[in-house]
Amino acid sequence: MPAPRKCPDELRERAVREVRTTGRPIAHVAKDLGVHKEALRGWVRQTEVDHGERDDRLTTAGRDELKQLRKKNAELNGLTRS
């Protein structure tokens, strides 16, 4: 199975901005811009979390911190098992 394509940040920002400012349905904006509607839905949700409009997910900063902590934890666990 091929790896998912990474969408340019500019396209993500444009798509999210269009959904949030125009009120157009996500599916319509996604189709117009050539992105998958569920990808756009996730981007919109994450933007809402990052702006404090939702609290059902981690912020992008929180996700980055968690990723770093898990990496550090794995490194430390690897050292103690040797």
Which tokens hold the place of 33? 């811009």
Domain locations in the chain? 9-80
pLDDT in tens, 5-33: 688 999 999 999 999 999 999 999 999 99
Beta carbons of 40 and 15 less than 8 angstroms apart: yes
* CATH match of 9-80 with 2.30.30: no
Record the pTM: 0.79
- Could you tell me the pLDDT band of residue 78, with boundaries at 50, 70 and 90? confident
Q: How many helices (H) does the chain have, and how many strands (E)? A: 4, 0
CA distance 21 to 59: 21
**Alpha-carbon distances, residue 52 vs 19, 44, 45 (angstroms):** 17, 12, 11
Which tokens hold the place of 23? 């009120």
